[in-house]
Amino acid sequence: MNAILIHEVGPRDGLQAEAAVVPTEVKLDWIRRVADSGVDIVQVGSFVRADRMPQMADTDELFRILIRESHHAVLSGLVLNEKGLERTLEVGVPLICMGVSASETHSRKNTGMGTEEATRRIIAIALEGKKAGRKVQVSVQSAFGCGFEGVIDEARIMSIVAAYLEAGLTSISLADTAGHAHPDQVLRYVKKVLALEPAAEVTAHIHDTYGLGMANVYAAMEAGARAIETSFGGLGGCPFTRVAAGNVATEDLVHGLQRAGQRMDIDLAALIGVAEDVATYLGRELPGRVYRTGPIRGMVLS
């Protein structure tokens, strides 16, 4: 198993589900600490309409500040449409993320477009991003099931993946938006993507809605995924799915990897500190485990 990349999505996927709007200065503190902890990518926010998602209203401002600073991690941002791409290019986002939901219902709730239209538009947007010299990641949302539609046909998932690959887009995230994934399914889907394009960089975005989050993450890594998207404290959940639940916690995954002697370069204590501060700020216990239990010290498994 190659060293897995960690893509922290808490500042976007975590905070977008919160009713309260976190002040910019507080977000900056959390983002800076995570970005300097040794994780590889931090998703700062999404370029969406402020009236629809006020939690993300300061995304442009965050990037303008952070892009002038030096951080260990690459900064990423999420876009849904052409206007979002314009904003990312204006503020200099290094890694632009975008995607299509394989669920027709979720796609319309999330973007106002059906899957077929969204696929055409997202591919065009992604190619514009690449043309502008930016790194681009495309995703298949609701890849393992949908809270509204239930099972999504596997051929439908792979047809979106094939469309991405045909367009030359090889950084692909499989997103378990509804948290329906099972480890066998995750293993199979990641392997299928890599069978279509062995050079593809596959990312797994896993939600822990039904308790299989960490098992699904390890299945993705076993199958050859290059990166995992996680959130501080396990915060998060798509507001446009039926049952929203958090991501796998960043510090939980790093703790597990470090017990196996992997990713020892990441400052686990720093991640735990951020999760503790997020929980204190929000005034409630978060889904993550390790920030509450503390790590197991000095035990690297052979």
Q: Of the residues 238, 245, 249, 275, which is catalytic?
A: 238
Distance CA(11)–CA(236), nearest Å, equals: 9
What is the residue whose two structure tokens read 């890849």?
143
Report the distance separating Cα 228 and Cα 220, nearest Å.
8
**Calpha distance 153→125 (Å, rounded):** 26
| Paired tokens of 173 | 């995230």
- Distance between CA atoms of 275 and 280, rounded to whole angstroms? 9
The residue with tokens 């669920």 is 103
Query: Nearest 5 degrees, angle CA 170-CA 78-CA 286?
Result: 110
Helix axes 154-166, 115-131, angle to 10 degrees: 30
Q: How many residues does the chain have?
A: 302
Q: How far apart are CA 12 and CA 228, in angstroms?
A: 15
The two three-digit tokens of residue 196, written as one number: 């279509």
97 is catalytic: no
> What share of residues in the chain are helix, strand, coil (percent, to 5)?
45, 20, 35
Dig out the tokens for 205 from the structure. Answer: 């975005």
123 contacts 136 by C-beta, under 8 angstroms: no
Nearest to 139 by CA among 260, 15, 9: 9
262, burial (CB in 10 Å: exposed 0-12, middle 13-18, buried 19+) = middle
Give the integer Cα–Cα distance in Å for 60 and 48: 10
Which residues are known to be catalytic? Answer: 238
